[in-house]
Amino acid sequence: MGGIRHPFTLKRLAAFSWCFHCERVNKTAAWLSNGWECPSCGAYAELWTWGDVRKIVSSYPGVPTVGGLYALYR
């Protein structure tokens, strides 16, 4: 997974990416194979790495549930 980078920021992405639009997590490979549209809601390239979400909400698990809803502030 280490070779996948964000299409705009070119930031190196981890195995899981979180959607800023619908707050759901999917595998980064699923974003890539979906043309960088969110596999859950279709938002284009609004992904954060899961690790950045966990810096804000440290109680979230290292391995999230695929398709799971993880609110950022609540």
Point out which residues bind Zn ion (CB under 5 A): 19, 21-22, 38, 40-41, 43
Phi, psi of 45, rounded to the nearest 5 degrees: 60, 25
CB of 59 to Zn ion, least distance (A): 22
Taking the least distance from each CB to Zn ion, the nearer of 1 and 44 is 44
CB of 47 to Zn ion, least distance (A): 8
Report the DSSP pairing between strands 16-19 and 25-27. antiparallel
Residue with tokens 């390239």: 45
Token pair recorded at residue 33: 């194979």
Taking the least distance from each CB to Zn ion, the nearer of 2 and 45 is 45
